Amino acid sequence: MVELSFLFIFGLIIGSFINVLVYRSIHQEDSKNLFSICPKCKHSLSPLDLVPLLSFLILKAKCRYCDKPISWSYFVGELSTSLLFVLVGSYYLNDPIALVYSLIIVSLLIALLFTDLYYGILPDRLILSGVVTSGLFLVTTALYRGDILSLLGNVLSAVASFIFFFLFIYFSKGKAMGGGDAKLGFWLGLFLGFPGTLVALFIAFLTGGLIGVMLILTKTRRFGQTVPFGPFLVIGSLIAYLWGSQIFSWYLNLTAK
């Protein structure tokens, strides 16, 4: 319980850092400022303004200096990161190496989710960081366990996932999704392997399709307008990473009846 409480607090801190990372990865002009600033008035924020969750609630989602509203994405980012850290910790608490690796994966995925959701961009450096991290972990694990076939399976899943997205982009002439989705697809294929990749893609396309239809029906989007697909890939990947094998086994048992 103490360990999970620590992960909850640590997740809040990392979630706050991710919020800054997402903002500064897009607004390069503000990245030179050593201190966190209000995105509206550019005023430097004090430590009391930066307490995860609490500052947002105490200030009633407004900047202390300009009184303009603060996006709820900051609150959601901190809380979701914290809860995911606790969830991952409940799975890997007895395996410190796998735990650290999983927390890095979760952090990068959350950062990618918000950059694509709010700015329509999947930064290459975030995806590359994920590929390098997963590659090092998988190679080290394969050598330690003497399980090269498992490593090969993950690599093949990554290549197959990338080819799938490449063909999807090619035949849709780039209208359905972009190159960032293909790169993200490569990474998720690498760290999920089989059958996790299939589960992630199924969930991503299912949720993406349902949300797309809902947006059209509510006239939030017109038919033909694009919706960022990265967030759905991230959600599918997180679900598959934690429960992919169970979902795939459930599906096989369901179809076998």
Q: 12 and 130 in one domain? A: no
Q: 153 and 194 in one domain? A: yes
Tell me, what's the pLDDT at 64?
83
Is 52 in a helix, a strand, or coil?
Answer: coil
Tell me, what's the pLDDT at 221?
63
Q: 139 and 71 in one domain? A: no
Closest CA to 237 of 182, 192, 193: 192
Q: 239 and 184 in one domain? A: yes
Domain-terminating residue out of 94, 115, 150: 94
Q: Are the beta carbons of 106 and 81 closer than 8 angstroms?
A: yes
**Orientation angle between helical segments 124-145 and 179-217, nearest 10 degrees:** 120
Residue 80: other Cβ atoms inside 10 A: 18
Residue 45 Rama label (left phi>0; alpha psi -120 to 50; beta)? beta
Alpha helices in the chain (DSSP H): 2-26, 54-58, 72-92, 96-119, 124-145, 148-171, 179-217, 230-256
Domain that holds residue 203: 123-257
Tokens of 145: 């366990």
Number of structural domains the chain divides into: 2
End-to-end CA distance of the chain: 41
Spatial CB neighbours of 16, under 8 Å, sequence gap ≥ 6: 50, 52, 74, 77, 78
Per-residue pLDDT of the chain (257 residues; tens, 9 = 90+): 778 999 999 999 999 999 888 877 776 655 555 567 777 777 777 777 778 888 888 888 888 888 888 888 889 999 999 999 999 999 999 999 999 999 999 999 999 999 999 888 999 999 999 999 999 999 999 999 888 999 999 999 999 999 999 998 888 887 778 889 999 999 999 999 999 999 999 999 999 989 888 887 776 666 556 778 999 999 999 999 999 999 999 988 888 76
